[in-house]
């Protein structure tokens, strides 16, 4: 994990956690991620990352990489949502860039742990939903799992760093 100074880290958490919590709650209740909330989350995080890059010149390459990865992976997610909507909903696809940007801003190992955590937790939740409902094709709200990505990344980042021999 890169050593984000405390103030930028707190600013990023303050920009991410409240709207992500609202989005997770709405997705659990309504199985949708409202565009207005996704846009709010995305804009808040983008502004904080831009401010971090502006105020901390040493972190500019990391913030730039986070933005590029968010766009590239986000485009891939939108493509999956368009080609296979039963695999990934469009709301989830539109949420992917902000999750990736937030995770990547904290470092490569956090991004990797975030993506791994989303995959594992999503699989576990999917299996549990299938076992409980006993109906094939039963859907579940993936947004909360997706939005937990940066937290999963922070928790798993040290493990990934150790596995890669960088920590």
Share of the chain above pLDDT 90, in %: 83
Closest to 19 (Cα-Cα) out of 5, 33, 9? 33
Contact of 103 with 153, CB cutoff 8 Å: yes
The answer to whether the predicted template modeling score (pTM) of the entire model surpasses 0.75 is: yes
* Alpha-carbon gap, residue 84 to 39, rounded angstroms: 23
Per-residue pLDDT of 61-96, as tens digits, reads 999 999 999 999 999 999 999 999 988 999 999 999
Contact of 113 with 159, CB cutoff 8 Å: yes
Position 132 scores a pLDDT of: 87
pLDDT surpassing 80 at residue 5: no
Q: What is the mean pLDDT of residues 124-149?
A: 88
Q: Tokens in use for 125? A: 């939740």
Contact of 63 with 34, CB cutoff 8 Å: no
pLDDT surpassing 90 at residue 49: yes
Position 1 scores a pLDDT of: 54
């Amino acid at each position: 994990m890169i050593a984000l100074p405390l103030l930028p880290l707190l600013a990023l958490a303050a920009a991410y956690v409240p709207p992500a919590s609202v989005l997770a709650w709405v997705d659990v209740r309504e199985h949708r991620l409202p565009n207005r909330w996704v846009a709010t989350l995305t804009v808040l995080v983008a502004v904080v990352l831009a401010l971090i890059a502006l105020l901390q010149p040493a972190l500019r390459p990391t913030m730039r990489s986070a933005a590029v990865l968010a766009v590239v992976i986000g485009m891939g997610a939108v493509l999956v949502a368009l080609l296979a909507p039963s695999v990934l909903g469009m709301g989830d696809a539109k949420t992917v860039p902000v999750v990736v940007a937030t995770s990547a801003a904290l470092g490569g190992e956090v991004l990797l742990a975030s993506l791994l955590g989303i995959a594992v937790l999503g699989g576990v939740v999917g299996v549990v939903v299938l076992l409980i409902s006993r109906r094939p094709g039963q859907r579940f709200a993936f947004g909360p799992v997706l939005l937990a990505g940066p937290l999963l990344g922070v928790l798993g980042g040290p493990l990934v760093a150790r596995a890669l021999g960088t920590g």
